[in-house]
């Protein structure tokens, strides 16, 4: 009986969690001394970060790509190219079309400023989102490189931003690629279409292209990876050593790209940060949402024409986030990019057979709070059934902490273990749990690292991100460097084991290994195993129930 009740609460929670618009979340304010690494650290054979030869001449700021010549700028001892178009503007007749090739240009195109973000609500959650310029003409990417020599063969790191598939952009200061690039990588950040302009179905589209695409934002991500394959050598990158990584909806994108038959061969490893175990939308549900959107725009619902829909100004779509209109934060099943559920593809072993790192944070429930849901209320509504959770959470007595940990484990931690175990049968898989809380944020992050809280450590971007300026101590900076070293080692060698750091062993269904990035960095055995096993069984039932809707 207790399991049936928890399933019911979980279904209700998941349904409500992403049904509303994304409100603003107050930024971090203030941050722990990291104990030295244990003396028992195991050295590995991974080479140290590359020290590239830097060409400081003005000619290094110009590169020739397939569509024309670009001129970037010199920043932080790097060559930086911003606002590079990787697809034609998806406007007018190209709205809700597969991304089309960029028109070639004559002369030298300046690439020294970020492009506008794709249309989205003006909201921010843990760095995702923008209050800056927006435009439907938004399919651009940015490149940081220490060496534009085509023979440099540097590892390539392609970042996919999060934001529930409705907010975010690749030009956020949080995602500044300078510090990862200074290690010897070519770092790429991208924009992709969001919200109703990026993930949309409607009878008019089906009439124009039966069983055609619906995941336009996903197709944008694939187009960006194709651009990387075609052009990254001009920036010193190795097209045969491309890593994709992203957080939240970006982490979900990584798993989806692993599953998508259209993305095969475009990347060689991936890191999924805080992906979530929420099933994708069916095409039928997406069609109904599209009809409701047309109604809300004052068009004749299912009878709206494609011409009428394409004539609506882009900004008219962003406020339409009622429960029956939004598809966030998941993809849509039933097109060439995602023909089957991600989980089904992993269970069949049909995903890309390349190395994967996957993990989550110690207080992922903050994403629920960002959507106006109080995890403590979830526990209160359980009443006497809360007793069923006690054996799974010994020592946790208050509703706030219990609710936060329950939400975290049901939606994130369990899903991470499940996907890592499944992928380990196909290719190497590593699992992590991020629990390091900066000393000046211990009050604000009292229940642990919030959703997105690890990103600043991955990018070492604390000095350029407004929310973190003046917050990090020397110990926090040291921690950020260590985390970035792990991510860079994986990008370079397909093994997340930098020299001089604790050894990160692979995870699989028989060897339960989780690297915890906490006050110390240490490998944990059988991490939350009993609890996660219970929840994985619940999630299997939940998935079947939601698939029937």
pLDDT digits (tens, 9 = 90+) for 129-178: 777 899 999 999 999 999 999 999 999 999 999 999 999 999 999 999 99
Least Cα distance to 293 among 265, 270, 322 occurs for 322
Q: For residue range 44-86, what is the model confidence (pLDDT) as tens digits?
A: 333 333 333 334 445 569 999 999 999 999 999 999 999 999 9
* Residues carrying an active site annotation: 248, 364, 451
CA distance 202 to 305: 9
Asked if residues 524 and 512 have their Cβ atoms less than 8 Å apart, the reply is no
Average pLDDT, the chain: 88
Backbone angles phi, psi at 83, to 5 degrees: 65, 45
- Assess contact for 142 and 114: CB atoms under 8 A: yes
Residue ranges of the domains in the chain? 2-547
As a whole-number percent, the residues of the chain with pLDDT over 70 amount to: 86
Residue 194 has pLDDT above 90, yes or no: yes
What Rg, from alpha-carbon coordinates, does the chain have?
Answer: 22
User: What is 2-547's CATH superfamily?
Assistant: Alpha/Beta hydrolase fold, catalytic domain (3.40.50.1820)
Determine the 3-state secondary structure of 462 from DSSP.
coil
Instruction: Give the number of other CB atoms < 10 A from CB of residue 390.
Output: 12
Structure tokens at 139: 């399919």
Q: Is the peptide bond before 329 cis (omega within 30 degrees of 0)?
A: yes
What are 129's two structure tokens?
Answer: 């989102």
pTM: 0.90
Q: HSE on the CB side for 458, CA within 13 Å?
A: 27
Give me 202's structure tokens. Answer: 């409607």
Is 22's pLDDT higher than 70?
A: no
List pLDDT tens digits, range 325-364: 999 999 999 999 999 999 999 999 999 999 999 999 999 9
pLDDT one-digit tens code per residue, 489-512: 999 999 999 999 999 999 999 999
Torsion of CA 329, 517, 366, 288, to 10 degrees: 10
Q: How far apart are CA 391 and CA 393, in angstroms?
A: 6
Element (H, E) at 492: helix 474-493
CA distance 218 to 338: 9
- Number of residues in the chain: 549
β-bridge partners, 140 = 85
Distance CA 172, CA 469 (A): 14
Using CB atoms within 10 Å of the CB of residue 439, give its burial: 0 to 12 exposed, 13 to 18 middle, 19+ buried: middle
């Amino acid at each position: 009986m207790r399991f049936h009740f928890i399933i019911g609460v979980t279904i209700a929670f998941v349904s409500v969690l992403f049904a509303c618009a994304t409100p603003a979340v107050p930024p971090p304010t203030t941050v722990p001394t990291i104990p030295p690494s244990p003396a028992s650290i195991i050295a590995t054979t991974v080479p140290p970060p590359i020290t590239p030869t830097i060409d400081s001449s003005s000619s290094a700021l110009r590169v020739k790509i397939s569509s024309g010549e670009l001129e970037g700028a010199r920043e932080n001892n790097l060559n930086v190219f911003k606002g590079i178009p990787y697809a034609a503007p998806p406007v007018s007749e190209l709205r809700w079309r597969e991304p089309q090739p960029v028109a070639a240009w004559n002369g030298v195109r300046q690439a020294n400023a970020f492009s506008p973000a794709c249309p989205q609500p003006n909201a921010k959650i843990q760095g995702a989102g923008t209050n800056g310029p927006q435009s439907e003409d938004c399919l651009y990417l940015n490149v940081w490189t220490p060496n534009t020599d085509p023979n440099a063969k540097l590892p390539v790191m392609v970042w996919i931003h999060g934001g529930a598939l409705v907010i975010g952009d690749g030009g956020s200061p949080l995602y500044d690629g300078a510090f990862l690039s200074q290690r010897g990588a070519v770092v790429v950040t991208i924009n992709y279409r969001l919200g109703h302009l990026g993930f949309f179905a409607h009878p008019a589209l089906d009439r124009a292209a039966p069983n055609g695409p619906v995941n336009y934002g996903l197709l944008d991500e694939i187009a960006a990876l194709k651009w990387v394959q075609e052009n990254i050598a001009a920036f010193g990158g190795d097209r045969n050593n491309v890593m994709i990584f992203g957080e939240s909806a970006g982490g979900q994108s990584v798993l989806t790209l692993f599953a998508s038959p259209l993305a095969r061969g475009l990347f060689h490893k991936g890191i999924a940060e805080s992906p979530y175990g929420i099933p994708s939308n069916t095409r039928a549900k997406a069609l109904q949402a599209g009809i409701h959107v047309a109604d809300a725009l004052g068009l004749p619902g299912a009878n709206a024409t494609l011409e009428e829909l394409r004539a609506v100004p882009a900004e008219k779509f962003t406020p339409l986030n009622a429960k029956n209109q939004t598809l966030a934060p998941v993809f849509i099943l039933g097109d060439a990019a995602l023909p089957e559920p991600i989980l089904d593809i992993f269970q069949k072993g049909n995903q890309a057979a390349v190395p994967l790192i996957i993990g989550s944070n110690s207080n992922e429930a903050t994403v629920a709070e960002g959507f106006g849901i109080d995890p403590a209320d979830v526990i209160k509504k359980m009443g006497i059934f809360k007793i069923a959770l006690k054996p799974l959470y010994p020592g946790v007595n208050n509703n706030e902490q219990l609710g936060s940990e329950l939400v975290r484990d049901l939606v994130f931690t369990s899903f991470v273990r499940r996907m890592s175990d499944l992928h380990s049968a196909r290719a190497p898989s590593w699992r992590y749990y991020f629990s390091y809380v900066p000393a000046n944020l211990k009050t604000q992050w009292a229940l642990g690292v919030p959703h997105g809280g690890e990103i600043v450590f991955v990018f070492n971007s604390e000095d350029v991100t407004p929310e973190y300026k003046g917050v990090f101590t020397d110990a926090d900076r040291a921690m950020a460097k260590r985390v970035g070293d792990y991510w860079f080692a994986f990008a370079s060698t397909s093994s997340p084991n930098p020299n001089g750091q604790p050894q990160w062993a692979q995870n699989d269904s028989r060897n339960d290994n989780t690297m915890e990035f906490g006050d110390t960095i240490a490998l944990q055995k059988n991490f939350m195993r009993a609890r996660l096993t219970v929840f994985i069984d619940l999630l299997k039932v939940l998935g079947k129930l939601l698939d029937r809707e």
